[in-house]
Amino acid sequence: MGDHIRLIDQRRLPEELVLVEVHSIEKLCELISELAIRGAPALGAAGAMGVALAWVQGRGMVETASLLKATRPTAVNLAWGVDRALAAGDPVAEAVQIAVDDVALNQAIGAHGTAVVPDGARVLTHCNSGSLACVGWGTALGVIRSAHVAGRQPSVWVDETRPVLQGARLTAWELQQLGIPATLVVDSMAGSLMAAGKVDLALVGADRIAANGDVANKIGTYSLAVLARHHHIPFYVAAPTSTIDPATPAGSHIVVEQRSDSEVVEVGGVRLAPEGMIAQNWAFDITPAELVTGYITEEGISGRIH
C-alpha distance across the termini of the chain, in Å = 36
DSSP of 59-94, one letter per residue? --HHHHHHHHHHH-SS-HHHHHHHHHHHHSSSHHHH
Q: What are the domain boundaries of the chain?
A: 5-105, 113-302
- Of these residues, 159, 187, 207, 285, which one is catalytic? 207
pLDDT recorded at residue 305 = 73
Average of pLDDT values for 9-24? 94
Average of pLDDT values for 300-305? 86
Residue 282 has what DSSP assignment? B
Give, in words, the CATH class of 113-302.
Answer: alpha beta
- Residue 156, classed as helix, strand or coil, is strand
Chain-centroid distance, C-alpha 70: 18
Report field, pTM of the whole predicted structure over 0.75: yes
CA distance 130 to 161: 14
CATH code, 5-105: 1.20.120.420
The answer to whether 209 touches 292, Cβ cutoff 8 Å, is: no
For the CA atoms of 156, 157, 160, 162, the dihedral, rounded to the nearest 10 degrees, stands at -120
pLDDT recorded at residue 128 = 96
pLDDT recorded at residue 53 = 94
Same fold, 5-105 and 113-302: no
Residue among 128, 127, 167, 163 nearest 262 (CA): 163
44: left (phi over 0), alpha (psi -120 to 50) or beta: alpha
The pLDDT of residue 1 is above 60: no
> Is 207 known to be catalytic?
yes
CA distance 68 to 83: 11
- pLDDT tens track for 134-177: 999 999 999 999 999 999 999 999 999 999 999 999 999 999 99
- pLDDT tens track for 260-291: 999 999 988 889 999 999 999 999 999 999 99
Which region among 98-102, 109-113, 214-218, 302-306 has the lowest average model confidence (pLDDT)? Answer: 302-306
pLDDT recorded at residue 2 = 65
pLDDT recorded at residue 3 = 82
CA distance 58 to 85: 15
Q: How far is CA 73 from CA 40, 80, 134, 301, in A?
A: 11, 12, 18, 27
